[in-house]
Amino acid sequence: MATDNRPVSPFWIYRWQITMTMSIMHRATGVVLAVGTLALVYWLVAAGMGPGAYTDAQALFGSWLGQFLLWGWTFSLFYHLCNGIRHLAWDAGWGFEIKTLYQTGYTVWVAATLLTGIALYMAYTGGAA
């Protein structure tokens, strides 16, 4: 039986498109954010435990690994938020034309990157105390 020329899966025959990257990124950032909830609850519980635990948590989030993770979660949050709004627009029946699809796709990338930049700027320059 000749099976050599059968197409195996769309991943091997599709040309790269921004839409596919955006889709997989939406899922990936969602999973990253789900893991990030652990950090949020840790921060809250540390605040509930007292000054010692809270200072430890702040030190952990302030370490290079902690900051790296926080940047990742920040970008993931803004990406998932912006692209989530894009998804909700589709659910309402808007934005399915190829041209609009690409425009909104690039807008999500720009918006998520800008918001992450603003957040990082705020985090390193401002903040209470």
Largest pairwise CA distance in the chain: 73
Q: Which two tokens stand for residue 26?
A: 């939406």
Q: Which two tokens stand for residue 30?
A: 């969602």
Residue with tokens 């990253």: 32
Q: Assess 41 for contact with another protein (CB under 8 A).
A: yes
Q: Which stretch binds another protein (CB under 8 A): 9-17, 83-91, 93-101, 105-113?
A: 83-91
* End-to-end alpha carbon distance in the chain: 73
Nearer to another protein, 4 or 93 (CB): 93
Length of the chain, in residues = 129
Q: Assess 102 for contact with another protein (CB under 8 A).
A: no
Residue in 17, 20, 21, 40 binding another protein, rule: CB under 8 A: 40
Q: CB 46 → another protein: shortest distance, Å?
A: 9
Cβ neighbors of 25 (< 8 A, separation 6 or more) are: 79, 83
- CA 111 from chain centre, in angstroms, equals 12
* Interface with another protein: number of residues (CB under 8 A): 34
Give residues in contact with another protein (CB under 8 A): 27, 30-31, 33-34, 37-38, 40-41, 44-45, 47-48, 50-51, 54-55, 58, 74, 77-78, 81, 84-85, 87-88, 91, 119, 122-123, 126-129
